[in-house]
Structure 1
Amino acid sequence: MTFRRTVPHLLALAAGAGLCLAAAVWTRNLVESRTLRSIDAGLSQSGHEWTVVQVDGLHVVMSGIAPDDATRFAALSTAGRAASSARITDQMEVADPVAIRPPEFSIEILRHDDGVSLVGLVPSSMDVEGLVSSVREHVDDAPVSDLLGTVDFEPADGWYRAVTFGVEALAALPRSKVSITASRVAIGAVAKDADDRRRLERLLRRDAPAGLELALSISAPRPVVAPFTLRFLIGSDGARFDACAADSEAARDAILEAAQGAGLGDGATCTLALGTPSTRWGEAAVAGIVAVAELGGGTFTMSNADVTLVAEAGTPLPRFERVSAELEVALPPVFSLKAILPEEVEQDEEVPLPEFMATLSPEGHVQLRGKLGSDSTRAAVESLAAAHFGIDHVYLATVLDQDLPRGWTQRVLAALEAMRFLSNGAANVTVDKVTISGNAAFEGAQSAVARVLSDKLGAGASYELDVTHLEVSEPRIDLPTPEECMARVHEAAERKKITFNPASSTFEDDAVETIDAIADILRECQGIRVEISGHTDSQGRETMNQRLSQARADAVLNAILARRVLGTGLVAKGYGESRPAASNDTAEGREANRRIEFRLIGGPEDLTDSPGSGAETRSNDDVIEASDGGGTE
C-alpha cells in the first residue's frame, strides 16, 4: 500500500524535473541565441566582420585576427555593450605589423631674384649644412632658406647623384624650379630667348647622369622685333619667306596656311614676337600673300605699317591694277600700300654695271671690293665694317666712281649692316638689287637680315636672301683619360694618406686635405668608373670588420659627393678582412690592411652609386691605397 501511494508522487516529481530541465535548456538556448545575435549585429555595424563569436550559455568567446591592437580593443568594447565584459573571453590575435615603407625623398629648389628656397624631405644621414653650402656656392652666395625636413631612412639608389646634378644645374638657371627625386629631376626655368633656351637644354641633357630621368620645361619670352617685318615672295624657285613675324598664334597659323595655299612647302615657321603695329597684322599679311599668288609671282613686304607689293617684270598691267586695288581695300586702315610694277629695261651689254661686294670668311676676315662714290663714303664703309668685324679683320680694295646710281651708298651701308648676322657669307650690291647669302649660327638670322634691309632701304627695296642656319656644336674639351685621372688621384693620395679615428668611420683632420684634392680631380674627370673600397685587418669579429669597412667606404664616397662631384660612376664597397694586402701577424701588416682603395673599374659592369654595390673584378685595375691612423679595428 505504501509503495502504491508513493509511485504517483515519484512520477510527478520526475515529470516536474523533466519539465525544469527542458525549461532550462530552452532558456539557455534562448539566451545564447539572443546574445549571439546582439553581439553579431553590433560587430557587423562597427565593421568588425573579421571576428568569430561563440556563445556557451552565459559565456562568450571572441576569436579572429585583428589588423591591429586598436581594432581588437574596439571589437571587444562593441561586444561588451551586448554582454557583460565579465562573461567575455578574449582569444583574438593581432596580425603581424607590416613593415613601414620608407618615404620618397624629394627636394624642391626654387631660385628667384631674392634668393633660393629648399623645401622637401631628405634622409637624416644627409649633410644638410653641406647641401646648403653647395647651393650657396652655385648661386653666387645668394640667401638660401632651408625648409628641409629629415627622417631616419636610407635613400633609394641614385639619390645623391640626382641631388648633385640638380644643385649644379642652378648655376645656369637664374630663375628656376628644380624638383629632385632619386630617379627623376624636373627643371622649370625661364631663358633669355629661344637661342638661350636651346643652349640650356643641350647643356642640361649633356650633363645629366646616365639612367636619371630628366624633364625640362624651359620657356623663353617672345622677342621684340623692330621693325616688325614679313617678306613673302614667289620666284622661279618657288615660294618662300625671307622673314615672317606674327603677333599671335592665330595670326601665325593663318599666315602659314595662306602661304601654303600659295605654294609654300611644309616646314616653314613664323616667329611669335612683340612689336606689331596693329592687332590686325595677320589679316594684312594673309591679304598680301594671296595677292602675290594671284599675280603669279612677286614680292610682298611688310615693315611695321608700310606695305609694299612688287610684281614681277612683265606682269600684265590689268592684272596688276586689279590685284593692287583689291589688296588696298583688304588692308586694315593702319597699313599703307605701295604697289610697284617694274619696267623691263634692256641694258647695253658693253657698258659695265657698277657693283660692290663684301666677303666674310669663317675666320671673321672681311674683304671689301667694288665701287664707292667718294672718299668720305669709303671712310664710312671702312668704319662700319671695322665696328662690326674688327679693324684688323677688314681688307679694303675699293675704287671711286662719281657716276654711281642714286642711293648707292645707302645700299652698301645697309648690306654691311645686314652681314653682321652671318658667320660667313657675302653681300652683293648692284644697280637693281642687294643680295645677301651665307651661313648663320642662329635660326632667325634671315629674318633679322630682312628687317635691317627693309628698315634701311624701305619696304619696297629689291633684295634677295639666301641665309642658311648651321647648328653650332658645343666646343669639344679634351678631357684626361681615365688612366691619367687615376694617376693624378694616386699622386694626391701619396702626398697624404686618408686616415680615420681608430675603430671609427670618422676622418682624422689630416684626411680632409686629401679628400679635397681627390674630389677636385674626380670633378674634372666626371664619367670615369671608380670603386671606393674599404678594408680592415683581422682583429675583432668578422661581421664588425665588414660593417666598419663599408662605413668607411661610404664616408669617403659621401665626402666626395658633398664636394659637388657627380656620383654617376662612383660606388662604395666594404670588403672587411677578406682581402688582406699583407700578413695580419705583424703590426705593420695589420696597419697595411687597414686601408681605403680607389680602383679604376675597366670591366663592362653596370654600376650604381648605391653603397655596397659594384664589381669585384680586380684584374687590370689601378689601385690606390689610403690607410687609417692605426689602432685596433
Structure 2
Amino acid sequence: MSQPSKWWWGLIPLAILCILATFITGKSINSDLNNRATASLGSAVVSPVFSVAGRDVALAGVVFSPDAANQVAASVGQVWGVRRVLVDAKEPEVAKPFNWAISHEGPSVVLSGSVPNPDTREKIVATAKATFAGADVKDEMHYASGAAAGYAGAVQFGIDQLGKLSKGSASLSDTGLTISGSADTSDAYNAITTALKTLPEGLTLAKSDITAPKPEPAAPVTPTTETPAAPAVATASSSTDTSAAATATSTVATTAAAYGFDAARDTDKLTLSGNYPDDDTHGKILDTAKSLFPGDVVNDQMTAAPGAPNGFANAALAGLSALSRLAKGTFSLAGTNATLSGEALYDGAVNSVQRGFAAALPDGFKAASATITVSTPAPAVDAVNCQSMLNGIVTKSKIGFETGKARVSPASSGLLDTIVATINRCPGSNIEVSGHTDSSGDEKANIVLSEQRAKAVLTYLTDAGVPSSRLTAVGFGSSHPLASNDTEEGKALNRRIEFSVK
C-alpha cells in the first residue's frame, strides 16, 4: 500500500465495470418500470408515451374523460417502485360538426370520420363485421370529442339500414342522418323506407336517396283497331268503312286517355305510381322528386308502359313542383287532364299554388280546378325551438338561385313555403336573413350578390304575409365559410341562405 504506483492502475477497470453496471442496471430498471406502468393502464390511454427518470414516471397520450387523467395517475402510482407520476394526457380535440360515415361497395366496407372512445370504436367495427359478413372492413376512424348524445345508437341504426342495401353509404353530421344506395328487392326497399319513418330518439333524417329495384316493364299496350274495308262502289259499303274508321279512332283515344301518373304526399312520405314511357323520363321524375321533397321517403311504384301523350314528362314535373308546396296532397295525370288537391301550409299560398300549377303545365294539358284548403296551424314555439327548426330545414335542402343572379329558383317555392309556415309559428321573434357566397370572383361583388339574394328571400317571405317589420336582410359574401373553398363540394356548401332568430 505504500507503493501506489504499483496498484492504482487496477482502479481503472474497476471504475469502468461500476459505470457499466450502473448504466445497464439502471436501463433495466427503467425498462421494467416502464413495462409495468404500461401494463397498469389497460385501454385507458391511447398511444401512451412514458419517460422514466429514476423512480419518477411522466406520461403523455390521449384520454377520453375529464377524470381519466387522475385515474391514470392513481393507477400508475400504485405500481411498485414508482415514486411520482406526472400526467400530461389530454382529451381529443372537439370536432364540430361531429361527422361519421360508412360506405359499402362490393367486398369493401370503409368506416371513417370521428369516434368518441375506444369502446365505441370496437363496437362499431364489430357491428360492421357482423352486418357485412365476409367483407373487408377498413377502420379509418379517428378520435374526437363532441359526439352528440345517442351517437352510438345512431351509428348502429345507420349500419343496420345500410346492411339492407346492395351498395351505398350512410353518414352522420351531429344528429343528421344521410343515407343513399340501391336496394335489390322490394322487401329490402320497403323495410328501409319504413325504418326511416321511425328514427331513434334525437336522430333526424337529413337526406334519403334510396334507389328501388327496377320494376319489370309492363306488357306493351296494343290498341285494337279495325282494318278498313276495301273501297266499293256501293254507297252502303262506304258507310260501313266510315263506321269502322270511327271505331278505330275511338279505341286509340281511349287508350291515350288511360295513360296515367299519380303522386301522393303524406307525412314524410311521397308515393309515385302509374306509368312512365322510358328510363330517361323515369330518372327525371325520381331525381326531381328527391330534390323537391328532401326530407321525405320516396316510394317508387311506377311501371314502364308506352303510349304517353306528348309533354307527359314536363306535366309530371310541373305537378310535382306544385305538390311540393302542400303539407299533404295528391297530383294526378289521366291522359292530358291534370288534377291537384291537398292542404297548403298557410293562407296566402292557396291562390299562388293554384295559379302556378295551371300556368306550369305544357301546351295540350288541362288543369282541373285545384281543391286546396289550408292545413291546421301548428302550435307556437319559442325562439330556441324556432331556430332549431329553421336550421333543420336549410340543412336538408338549399334555396336555389339562377347562376350569378339573385332570382329565386321556382323549384325552391316548396322549401320557402315551409320556412314561411315555420316563421309563423314564432310570432314573437325577429328573423335575420343572411346571404353567403363562395370565394370565387371579386369579394365586393360577392357581398352585393349575397345581400341581393337575402333580399330576394325576404321579399318572398313578405309577399307570403310575414310582416316586414320582423325581417332584416344582410349579405356576408364569402367571409363566413362553412367549408374549404378549395373544392367544388366546399364551395357548394358555402353558397347558402341562413336564418337567425333574434
TM-score under structure 2 length normalisation: 0.28
Structure with greater Cα Rg: 1
> What TM-score comes out, normalization by structure 1 length?
0.24
